Amino acid sequence: DGGITQSPKYLFRKEGQNVTLSCEQNLNHDAMYWYRQDPGQGLRLIYYSQIVNDFQKGDIAEGYSVSREKKESFPLTVTSAQKNPTAFYLCASTRDPTSSKTYGYTFGSGTRLTVV
Amino acid sequence: AQSVAQPEDQVNVAEGNPLTVKCTYSVSGNPYLFWYVQYPNRGLQFLLKYITGDNLVKGSYGFEAEFNKSQTSFHLKKPSALVSDSALYFCAVRDRGAGSYQLTFGKGTKLSVIP
């Protein structure tokens, strides 16, 4: 079955450490997104990519980095510059985001990151 | 700029009663509107969407939503709530006329269905 796979499900980070969250999709979707979810704050966009080898900052990109070397993959690195990284991270994808058909997003199951 | 508001952080309803989760939006053009549901420690699941046409949209699990352009609202409804409907619900909007290719999500409404 097609879908989005996020790994790991739980991740623990020590102070000053970089960690990478994986997001892989086999839906042949063009665009991919990373969101951060904190209680009571909804979903906040970190980075997004509409095509391979191109990505844009979202609303809260500071302390994060991404790459999009393959259509299927959009890993997120949480760097030591992100001072409060404890949160639930969600990856999403969609077919041609410029289409008037507006397909909506498919979400992964999330990664819960905790600073220890 | 596009935005969406969910005015209620939490909605409580008795099992078997009708439920409504409210959503209002702001766009410069015409909207695409979505509802998603999230269960604990899971990703969001698509419920329904409004693109054009009938103002009443039917979706998964017996949910429906009514698009009201004059009130800029897209409230989620279900005639008879189930305990299993207890979850976090998100409304999302995309502005069709502004060249926006992203969805903007509300902050979510926690629905609790009481047995």
- The pLDDT tens digits for A60-91 are 999 999 999 999 999 999 998 888 999 999 99
What is the CB neighbour count within 10 angstroms for residue A59?
Answer: 11
- The pLDDT tens digits for B92-112 are 998 876 666 788 999 999 999
With an 8 Å Cβ cutoff, are B107 and A41 in contact? yes
- The pLDDT tens digits for A12-53 are 988 889 999 999 999 999 999 999 999 888 899 999 999 999
By the CB < 8 Å criterion, does A99 face chain B? no
- pLDDT score recorded for residue A113: 95
Q: For chain B, how are helix, strand and coil distributed in percent, rounded to 5?
A: 5, 50, 45
- pLDDT score recorded for residue A96: 73
DSSP letter for B30, please.
P
- The pLDDT tens digits for B18-66 are 999 999 999 988 899 999 999 988 899 999 999 888 899 999 999 999 9
Give the C-alpha separation, B90 to B18, whole Å.
18
> From residue B106, how far is each of A18, A82, B3 by CA, in Å?
30, 24, 8
CB B79 within 8 A of CB B70: no
With an 8 Å Cβ cutoff, are B44 and A105 in contact? yes
Query: Among partner residues A92, A100, A104, which is closest to B49 by beta-carbon distance?
Result: A104
pLDDT at B89 over 90: yes
Spatial CA neighbour of A5 closest among A106, A114, A116? A106
- pLDDT score recorded for residue B1: 82
- pLDDT score recorded for residue B96: 79
- Report helix, strand or coil for A98: coil
| H/E run at residue B103 | none
With an 8 Å Cβ cutoff, are A40 and B107 in contact? yes
What is A8-64 written as a DSSP string? Answer: -SEEEE-TT--EEEEEEE-S--SEEEEEEEETTTEEEEEEEEEETTEEEE-TT-TTE
CB B2 within 8 A of CB B104: yes
Residue of A105, A106, A113, A114 to mutate, testing the B interface (most B Cβ within 10 Å of its Cβ): A105
pLDDT at A101 over 70: no
By the CB < 8 Å criterion, does A45 face chain B? yes
By the CB < 8 Å criterion, does B55 face chain A? no
